[in-house]
Amino acid sequence: MTTKFKNKYFEGERILFGANDLEIKNCVFGKGESPLKESRDVQLTDSVFTYKYPLWYSENVSVEQTSFETMARSGIWYTKNIKIANSALQAPKLFRRCQGVTLDHVHFGDAEETMWTCKDIRITDTQINGNYFGKDSANIYLDHVSIIGNYAFDGARNIEAHHCTFVTKDNFWNCENVTIYDSVLDGEYLAWNTKNLTLINCTIRSDQGLNYLDGLTMINCRLIDSDLVFEYVSDLNVELTAPVLSIKNPISGRIKVPEISQLIMDENKIIPEKTMIECEKIGERIAASDLNQEALR
């Protein structure tokens, strides 16, 4: 039997601990930690959380038109199957070690250190502001998501993104199996130490971005105002539609680009013949890549 709460104010620690089959509407959870810890089958609508740890170890939670205020920090940990829509999430560190997270039309005011070590995540039409979002998470689907904040998705795996905007430095570091379509990526040092990155119909602006990768595919992409790209990248399959400022010491593969302002291919660091470069116009060619190289001879 469903227990219904409407227009109530809750206060106190673990006020609804372990409750099952709840409908909560137009309610405020005031001071008191862990109000819905260990809850099951919960529907929350038009409500407000003002304090810490509201949904830990919960299962099957639906949240609509609800706010998580700043002090509702570390709010959703170890929870399975949670859907949040049309809601404002102001608190940091909201998701940790969760499984089955669906977010739609959500605004993160402060997503610092949020969505860590979670899996089976679907995020649509959502704005995210904060550093270190998505660290070490897996099985992530993004559509029309905007992220502003550095170090997003460090160590994450199995990511698919469509129509997204990422304004973040050190984005997608140490990742595996990332595919991004029709998106904008703006920030230095993009995707270092990542395996199997595919970018399709994307615009990228990244100082020293896309270095130290193993397996990089780019189809119909633009690398604008980006220098020293592809350093120590193996298994390249790259087709760019706009000129590139500089390419440095790729390890292997194929690069097709209309123009390269500066091409650095240092045979002391790589075997240049292992990378096929298809380019009608190459400006400056450089065979030495380090300032101290002469001193070491």
Condensed to tens digits (0 to 9), the pLDDT of residues 255-282 reads 999 999 999 999 999 999 999 999 999 9
Structural tokens at position 88: 């404002």
- The pLDDT, as a whole number, for residue 295 is 43
Q: Any residues with CB less than 8 A from the CB of 292 and at least 6 apart, and which?
A: none
- Judge contact between 15 and 30, C-beta under 8 A: no
- The pLDDT, as a whole number, for residue 296 is 43
297: pLDDT confidence band, cut at 50, 70 and 90?
A: very low
Averaged over 209-234, what is the pLDDT?
97
Structural tokens at position 258: 């209309």
d(CA 89, CA 231): 39
288: pLDDT confidence band, cut at 50, 70 and 90?
A: confident
Condensed to tens digits (0 to 9), the pLDDT of residues 182-201 reads 999 999 999 999 999 999 99
Q: With pLDDT > 90 as the criterion, what percentage of the chain qualifies? A: 96
pLDDT at 293 over 70: no
- Judge contact between 241 and 220, C-beta under 8 A: yes
In this structure, the chain runs to a length of: 297
* 8-state DSSP, 274: G
Determine the residue type at 134: G
pLDDT at 167 over 80: yes
Does the CA dihedral 290-292-296-297 come out positive or negative? positive
Averaged over 122-137, what is the pLDDT?
98
- The pLDDT, as a whole number, for residue 290 is 75
Backbone angle region of 57, left / alpha / beta, with phi > 0 → left and psi within -120 to 50 → alpha: left
